[in-house]
Structures are given as structure tokens and as C-alpha cells.
Amino acid sequence: MSKLSPSELRSGGRDEITPAPSAANSALHSREPSFTSRNTSEKPGVQGNPFATPVHSANPSMVILPNTHGGEPAYFRSRRIRKENIEKPWLKEGKDRHQKWQTLIPMLGLFVGLSIGAFMVYDGWTSVPEHRYCIVYEDDFSSGQLNEDVWTKEAEVGGYGNGQFEQTTVTEENVYVTDGMLTIKPTLQDESLINQNSVLNLTQMGICSSNVWSNCVAVTNTTNGTIIPPAKSARISTKKGAKIKYGRIEVVAKLPQGDWLWPAIWMLPEENTYGQWPLSGEIDIAESRGNNHTYPLGGNNVISSTLHWGPDLTNDAWWRTYGKTSALMTTFAQSFHTFGLEWSEKYIYMYLDSRLLQVMYNKFGKPLWERGNFPLSDQNGTAFVDPWSQTGNPSTPFDQNFYLVLNVAVGGTNGWFQDGEAGKPWVDASPTAKLDFWKARDRWLPTWTDPTMQVKSVKILQQQGYNGC
């Protein structure tokens, strides 16, 4: 075996050869240009200097590395682009005239879109009517008392047409003002009035607010399961001292928390000008349920606003003028909100916290009798007579004085709480619905963690041009 001379070791082998491609690499070499390589020896078993600098071929992007394992040399092709070969189109004097439109057109479209959006916001804002108002009543309850010249406490046991389970009282057990807050608080009925045969006669007590006997007298009959209302609460109204025909109302309140509680902020007509309910209308500013958010129809995380109108009880067209909204990541029992109403000859709407957040909007365009599409007669075949169109006012029956009502009802048999939902402990059609509710108190009473409706303030405004304003 021959050895390399010292000069050859220093040079790493200087003999340049052009290796002939092997049969296995013939295809590769047929596609690549020929180039030269440096090898340390033609004799087998002698390795070249691994530290020698590879010699560049005629192609500057390709170098040949020594193969220290014998056989053919290793090839390396550089894919790097030389700096002087990089194109710089932005430096060219003659730019593509189409490129500027590729930028200009999207920018122009963005400008037009923003302009249209700004105009729509401006037009919507300026199109909201700004009526003038007179203050009819405004109270923040800082006096510590309920103004008896304005408010009336109602005392009844008849369920107010909804089969409600509470007796409304006039005592401070259920309605009072404390710490600048009007409070309505439902409580349990006296057990002695339910566990034994009893009679509760509000007329004899001189406090009944109704002239209907069934609204003033309730009995407990342990034999047939009839009982006195199993809960007590309050219902107050401004019928005595604050009524409006068109205007605005704002009530800042926090709603109760507790199963089967039914808080409401609403309005009734001062006179039944067009007949009994719902012929003369009803305005529900905000209603809710005290159940939690898992209740299928919405608990205290949902409020609804409604108009009630129709020829009789079974043809109430409330569903045509109904809306609801949800609290965002909270409930209406956790914080105070403004529940508002704006009402004019041409429209009526309810809002939450701001006039821009409308819960229900109704425009008085088409007369309500036509809009209701009511049947020609009632269930007994008696023909319906349209009492509204004769006024020539499309807002009828919502064209008369209405007053404000605040209350917290308990239960009921009118369907507000649906049978079979969320463990409802009574059935609406059952003659012992109240007793069934009472017997389940160990289940629902613990949920009454904060059963009060708390009211910070009430504002009632009369639209200019009516009622002497």
C-alpha cells in the first residue's frame, strides 16, 4: 500500500479527475453537466483528507464533497439565489398600471361601506321622535314612606283572574319602604288558617279592594281540599294619583329570586272604556319568573313585554304584540335595571336600560281589530262586535288613561307556569292546586333566597298635548 507525500497531505490531494458515472448513476449523470472532482488517490483503501476545502466546479452553485467511505464522491447543489439575481419590481420605473387598482378598489369599497353604515346610524338616531313631556309622578323613595296620595295597596284573595296563590295585603309584612327602597316581599300564609277549617273575610275586615265577593272571601275546608291562599304578597298601583294617556314610564328595579314567583311591572286602563278585559287592553312593561335560568321558558334571566287585546278571554291576541330579552351572563335578580315604556299615538315600545334596547315594538298602523283576525263569534255562537274601529284611531284600545301596577304574584293556574315543567308541584286544572302547592313548600321555599322586588325609583311622564300637559 503506497503512502502520500507530505506535500500531497497538505494539499489534500491535487490530482483532478473526471470520474466516469457508474451504471447505477448513469441516469443521474445524463441529466447533470460534467464537472471535476479532486481525489486523494486512485488506489483503493486510501482516503482523502476530510478537512480539505471542497473544490468548486465550473458551476458555482454546485460543489463536490470528498467521499470518505469509498465509492463515488458526494454531490451538493446549492439552491441559494445570489443577491444580484433577486428581482426588485418596486425599483422599476415602469410599474404595472393594474396594480394600483388592486389596492384602490378595496379601499374605495371600504369607504363606501363605512359611509353607508354611518348614514344609517345617523338616520336611525334622528328619526326617533323626541316628544315633550310633563312630570306626573317621580319618586326615589328617599322619604322613607309610600306616597298614599299616589299609591293604593290592594287587598284581595281571588287570584286576580289568573288563579294566583297569594293573598295581597296592606301590611308592612309584604310592602314597605326602607333604606330608600320600595320593597314587595312574598311570605308564607299563617299555617293555622290552612291546617284547620277557616274563613278569611277581607270585607268584614274593611280592607278588600274589590266589590266581588269571591275576591274578598276565602275558606279552608279540610274535607274537600279547598284552602285559603297559601302565600301572602303585595300589589300596589297608581290608579289614585298617577295616570297617563301616551307618555313615558321608567321603573328602576331588581326582580326576585325564588321558584314560582311571578314579578310584574305593568299597566291597566283607568276605565274599561271598550269593555271587560281584554277589550280595553293591558300593557305589560316587564314580566318574569323567579325560577333560575334552567326553567324552560326562561327564569329570572328573561323578561317579556306584551300588549293584551282582543274581544274575549279566549281570543286575546297578545302573541301578536310580544317580545322578550335575556340578561347577559347574569339575572335580573342580581342587579338593578331600568324597565321602560314609551307610548304615543303612532307606536308603543318597551325597553331595557336604554331606549335603544327595545324588548317589544308595535306600530299603530293597521287597526288592531283588523290585525287580530278574530273569529266572527265566540264559542257560544254570539257574534263579536268591533268596539274599536268606531274611534277612527288605529291605537285603540290603547288610546285612554292607563295607570302603573307593581306586584309579585305566587304561582297561578293560567299557564304562566306550564304543567309538568321543572318539577311544578301542581296541575292547573286540579281543584286542589293550591293545596298541592302548599304541601310542596319544603321543595320551593328554600329557593326563595331573595324573594323581594326592590324598586329604586319610579318616573311617570305625560306626553304633551294630553291630560292638560
Active site residues: 282, 287
Nearest to 225 by CA among 1, 437, 461: 437
Helix (H) or strand (E) holding 101: helix 99-127
Residues 318, 182: Cα–Cα separation, whole Å: 30
Instruction: Find all residues with CB under 8 Å of 369, minimum gap 6, and list them.
Output: 386, 388, 389
Residues 12, 110: Cα–Cα separation, whole Å: 68
- Length of the chain equals 469
Nearest to 160 by CA among 65, 46, 282: 282
Residues 312, 321: Cα–Cα separation, whole Å: 16
Evaluate whether 50 touches 12 at the Cβ level (below 8 Å): no
Residues 337, 250: Cα–Cα separation, whole Å: 10
Residues 297, 302: Cα–Cα separation, whole Å: 9
Instruction: Find all residues with CB under 8 Å of 37, minimum gap 6, and list them.
Output: 16, 17, 18, 19, 55, 57, 64, 73
Evaluate whether 183 touches 127 at the Cβ level (below 8 Å): no
The strand pairing partners of 153, in sequence order, are 236
Nearest to 310 by CA among 268, 369, 267, 365: 369
Alpha carbon 287 to chain centroid distance? 15
What's the sign of the alpha-carbon dihedral 313, 315, 320, 326? positive
Evaluate whether 443 touches 436 at the Cβ level (below 8 Å): no
DSSP per-residue string spanning 193-244: HHHS-EEEEHHHHT----S-HHHHEEEEBTTTTB-S-SEEE-EEE-TTT-EE
**In the numeric block, which cell numbers belong to residue 39?**
481525489
